[in-house]
Amino acid sequence: MNLSQCKIIDLPKVTDRRGNLSFIEGNKQVPFEIKRVYYLYDVPGGESRGGHAHKSLQQFIIAASGSFDVILDDGFQRKSYQLNRPYYGLYVPPLIWRELNNFSSGSFCLVLVSDLFDENDYIRDYETFKEMVKKGELRNIIKN
């Protein structure tokens, strides 16, 4: 995978004077079936989250409230996205290193994922990730 496959996806936005509504349906607004949802909140100032890649898991990351930055890395280049609106999110395919930081006070990060939790799906060491990219080992993971 490479960073060109990561993208911001706009969500439907139904505006109303009483408040706006956005929705997400698996395999429609996001390119996968949603099997799990998790969220991050009360992240202390200066802390970061993420710091890993997934072998097969796909994610869709939304700033449901507040803002934060998502730094993505495919082993060759890095790209940063600031998420700060609840009506769009960032699609992250497998085999992309991700870090989340610069959380605003009261921010709420909502993450929709394509599979249930599996510790074996994680690559948690950045140097290992870069070495796997360099050796072409990640291409083998995609084929299996």
Active-site annotation holds for 54: no
Task: Determine the Cα–Cα distance for residues 99 and 61; give it in Å rounded to an integer.
Answer: 12
Three-state DSSP class for 107?
coil
Q: What is the biggest distance separating any 2 CA atoms in the chain, rounded to whole angstroms?
A: 55
CA distances 58 to 22, 55, 81, 98, 115, Å, are: 21, 9, 17, 12, 8
* Dihedral sign for Cα atoms in the order 75, 91, 47, 68: positive
Q: Which of 35, 52, 55, 130 is catalytic?
A: 52
Question: Got the DSSP string for 15-39?
Answer: --TT--EE---BTTTBSS---EEEE
- Give me the active site residues, please: 52
